[in-house]
Chain A
C-alpha cells in the first residue's frame, strides 16, 4: 500500500501545487512515496518516506510520454495503491497519458478524496464554479489535485532517496520540447502583478483602454480584460482573465465595465480584494466584489488617476 505522488520541482525545490498534492495524497493513507524527474528535492518535511529520482539522458528536455512511462513503471514496481499529481498543465497532461496507457479512469482537479473502494472525491468543474462529488471505480485511482485550494501541511518523516533509470522507448521521446523561446520582456506580468486593472465591454473600444492603461501605469499594475474584449479584438488574448484565459491572484483586482460572468470570475477569485466599477448597480459582479463604485467608468477611472497623482 504505497501512494505515489509525481512531484514537479524547479532547482531542487518542489512547486507549491506539488506540495498541495502531497498533502491531499495522505488522505489515501501512508506511506507516501514521491517521484521526481531529473533532480532530487528534500520532501521529508512533507511526509515522503522515499523520494524516487528518475534519471535518464532524455530528461534534459520535457517529454510527456516519457514522464508517463516513468510514472507507470514506478507505480508497477511499488505496486502503488494510488497515483497523485498536481493539477498543473504538466501534471494533468502526464496523468492523462498514464490513464490512457493503463486504461484506467482519471479524476482531474480534485480538492478532497477518501479511500475506497470506491474512492469518493470532490473535484472542480466548470472552471471551478461548480463542484462534482463522484465515485472512482478503479483498481489504481489516478488523481490530480486542483492547484491552490488544499492548504499545504507538513508531516515530517525520515526520508530516503532511491535513484533509478526508467526504460524509455524511442516513440516515447517523439513528443518533446525542442526549443524554448523567451517571452519579450517589458511590462508587468499578469500573473505576478500585485494589482491588475481590467476592462470589459463597458470600456467601449480599443482606444477606450487608454484610461485603463494610465491607471495601471500609476499603480505599477498589469492590464487585464474580459473575453468580450479579446473577441472584439481590442486586446490580445494574453490579457484575458478567466476560465479560458489567465488565472490571477493579485492583492487588488479592479474590474472596470465587466459584468462578472462566472467564467470571468473563475480567473480572478484568487484576488485578495476586488473593486468593481460599473454603471449597473445590479450587475452580477456586485455579488463577488468587495467594493464597488457605481457610474460611468469614463469619469471614474480618470478621477482615480488624478487622485493618485495628487499623492505623488
Chain B
C-alpha cells in the first residue's frame, strides 16, 4: 500500500527486515570472522525503526552497529553513498580500517545498483559486484559471479568492497541467546543532514495490468485433462 502522497510505501504495518542480499552479506561477514577472527560492524541509513534490522544483524553475530538516522524522507543513491562513506571514514579513523565491506548488489526498495560502487570509489578500494561466492585467500579475496554458462572469477587484494546476492550462503536463523546478546550490543546513532536529491522522486505508481482473475480449470485430480488441454494449446506438449 502506498502512502497518501504516493511518495513511499506505507511501512507502518510492515516492520523493517533485512532484504535477502544484505542478509547474505551479514551472514558471510559473520562466517569470515568466525573462521579468521576479527570483528564486524553493521551500518544503515534509515528512520528510527530501522534499528530492528541492526538488531537482527547483531543477533546473527555482528558485534556492533552504526545507525545514521533519517526522518523517513527518501535519500537518493548518491546522498546515501556519501553519508555511508563519511560514517565509514569516521569509524576507521577511530577504530582502524575495515578489510572488507559488504553491500547488497541492489537494494530491494530503490534498486539503484550503485551505492556499493560509489562508496568503493570514494574510499579508493577495488569493488567487485553481484557475487555468489567469496573466499578469503590470505590477503586477497577470490570472488565469483554467476554469469551465462558458468562463473566469472576475480581476485582482488584487501581492503576491498564487494556487493553480493542472495544465494551467496544460506543465512542461519538467529538463536535465542543471539537475540538476547544483540539487545546489549552497542548502536552508535548520528543524524546526517539530507542534501537535495538530484534523482528526485516525484511519485510511486502501481503498474497497470494487475487485478485480473485466473480461469479455474477445476478442482483436484479431476482437472488433469483440462490442464493437458491447456498445455497442448500452448504448444508445449
Flag whether B128 is at the interface (Cβ < 8 A).
yes
List residues 101-155 of chain B with CB under 8 A from any CB of chain A: 106, 108-114, 116-118, 120-122, 126-130, 144-147, 149-155
List residues 218-272 of chain A with CB under 8 A from any CB of chain B: 219, 227, 230-231, 233, 236-238, 240, 243-245, 251-252, 263, 272
User: In the complex, how many angstroms separate the beta carbon of B126 from the nearest chain A beta carbon?
Assistant: 5
Interface flags, B201-223, vs A, CB<8A=1, else 0:
11111110011111111111111
How far is B109's CA from A131's CA once the two chains are assembled, in angstroms?
A: 11
Q: Judging by beta carbons under 8 Å apart, are A174 and B152 in contact?
A: no
List residues 59-84 of chain B with CB under 8 A from any CB of chain A: 76-78, 81
Q: Is the interface of B mostly helix, strand, loop or mixed?
A: mixed
* A176: B residues at CB distance < 8 A: 154
Q: Judging by beta carbons under 8 Å apart, are A133 and B220 in contact?
A: no
Least CB separation from A306: chain B residue? B224
Flag whether B234 is at the interface (Cβ < 8 A).
yes
Query: Which of A128, A263, A292 is the one whose CB lies under 8 Å from B217?
Result: A292
How far is B146's CA from A311's CA once the two chains are assembled, in angstroms?
A: 38
* A302: B residues at CB distance < 8 A: 221
- Other A-B pairs, 20, CB within 8 Å; known A131-B204, A240-B166: A93-B129, A99-B117, A126-B109, A136-B199, A174-B157, A178-B154, A180-B147, A180-B151, A227-B20, A227-B166, A245-B167, A274-B214, A275-B230, A287-B212, A293-B219, A293-B223, A296-B220, A300-B224, A308-B228, A308-B237
Which residues of B are in contact with A by a Cβ distance under 8 Å?
9, 19-21, 76-78, 81, 106, 108-114, 116-118, 120-122, 126-130, 144-147, 149-157, 165-167, 170, 197-207, 210-228, 230-231, 234-237
Which residues of A are in contact with B by a Cβ distance under 8 Å?
62, 64, 87, 89, 92-93, 95-97, 99-101, 104-109, 118, 120, 122, 124-138, 144, 174-183, 194-195, 219, 227, 230-231, 233, 236-238, 240, 243-245, 251-252, 263, 272-276, 281, 285-296, 299-300, 302-304, 306-308, 311
